[in-house]
Amino acid sequence: MRLGITIDYAEDFAGAATEVRDFERAGADVIAVSEAYSFDAVSRLGYLAAVTSTATLMSSILPIYSRTPALLAMTAAGLDSVSGGRFELGLGSSGPQVIEGFHGVPFERPLGHLRETVEICRSVWRREPLEHSGRNYTVPLAEGQGSGLGKPLKLINRPVRASIPVAIAALAPRAVQQAAEIADGWLPFLYHPERAAAAWGEALAEGTALRDPSLGPLDVIVGLPLYVGDDGDRMLDAYRQRMALYLGGMGARGANFYNDLAVRYGYADEASRVQELYLSGEKAAAADSVPEDLVLASSLIGTESRVRERLAALAASGVTTVVAQPLAPTAAGRLASFEAARAALPTAR
């Protein structure tokens, strides 16, 4: 099991970048950078490539609608080049609130867009003249569109690797099935190891049955908040409030991927109550209604023995990469939590 850390889009990046070198020296396998409607992740990953030397760098995630597939391929190849072959491309569709509300692009056919984006990226990395005719993307533009001067082009530079690992963020069963079929890695969210099979087991099996064996086993990449100590109640409370935001306030009634996931986990009544309270403005009550089991199971917060038990549960459920978000208020505390978690990893790594 790989263990890494994530830099949140809201963090002070200058301070976080300084800490990254300490995490790398402590054995971080992965450094992930997130992106929403925030500063972009790409510039930060390029900076981190210059100040790190061993850790894998990962985008978690780059939304596909805000960049063309060819630009995503160019970006990944560029980051892989400046990092010496240490980049992994995390992709996702994001959601209509961000894509339509911030980027002004229709949020349509996310599964088709993701599949074609991965196909185009892999073609670009192989330095093939780019020709793609799909429902969502046509490259070059079809006859009668544009100036008519477009022609198939191949990437000028030679990539460090002809196949850069691609991980896809997916929650809904059809999206998870597709990720298991076409991606190198899968990025779930609010991951409950003891209930993951109920939520995604069938979808993963169906996608795996269609998977090209040359891709190798699916890398299951799970992000969780991390705090190791006897005084974790405050961190759990903060995480519970964040979960209330996702279950209650992300999207609208009937269009909230995270709430739907909680239902598939078996928390239908609780999920409905959290959403109702949150959308009614009762955010504190919504947080109090988040199932305690879900809060504890989807986090690495607590004593060393508890974190060890959660890491073992993650490994047993099939997780292969844990990307932690350290929550301690000081740099020394964040590093200490990471080191404790690394010491608690299952022995078979």
pTM for the model stands at 0.95
CATH number at 177 reads: 3.20.20.30
Let me know if residue 288 belongs to a domain: no
CB 72, CB 62: distance < 8 Å: yes
* Residue 262 belongs to some domain of the structure: no
**Helix or strand (DSSP H, E) at 285:** helix 283-288
d(CA 138, CA 127): 18
Which structural domain range is residue 45 located in? Answer: 2-228+302-344
| Structural domain includes residue 256 | no
Percent of the chain at pLDDT exceeding 70: 99
> Is 54 among the domain residues?
yes
Count how many residues are written for the chain.
349
pLDDT (average), residues 296-319: 97
Residue 222 lies in a domain: yes
The answer to whether the peptide bond before residue 140 is cis (omega within 30 degrees of 0) is: yes
Q: Report the amino acid identity of residue 242.
A: R
pLDDT above 90 covers a percentage of the chain that reads: 91
pLDDT digits (tens, 9 = 90+) for 9-39: 877 899 899 999 999 999 999 999 999 898 9
pLDDT tens per residue, range 83-102 = 999 999 999 999 888 999 99
> Is residue 265 very low, low, confident or very high in pLDDT (cuts 50, 70, 90)?
very high
Q: Across all residues in the chain, what is the average pLDDT?
A: 95
The answer to whether residue 255 is domain-embedded is no
Instruction: Place 254 in a pLDDT band, splitting at 50, 70 and 90.
Output: confident
pLDDT of residue 348 exceeding 50? no
Indicate the number of domains in the chain: 1
Residue 258 lies in a domain: no
Instruction: Give pLDDT tens digits for 202-236.
Output: 999 999 999 999 999 999 999 999 999 999 999 99
Is residue 163 scored above 90 in pLDDT? yes
pLDDT at residue 349, rounded to an integer = 44
What pLDDT, on the 0 to 100 scale, is given for residue 302? 96
Does the pLDDT at position 247 exceed 80?
Answer: yes
Decide if pLDDT at 253 tops 90: no
Which residue, among 84, 67, 65, 70, has the nearest Cα to 156 in the 3D structure?
70
CA distances to 71, 111, 256 from 150, rounded to whole Å, are: 16, 27, 40
In a domain, 118, yes or no: yes
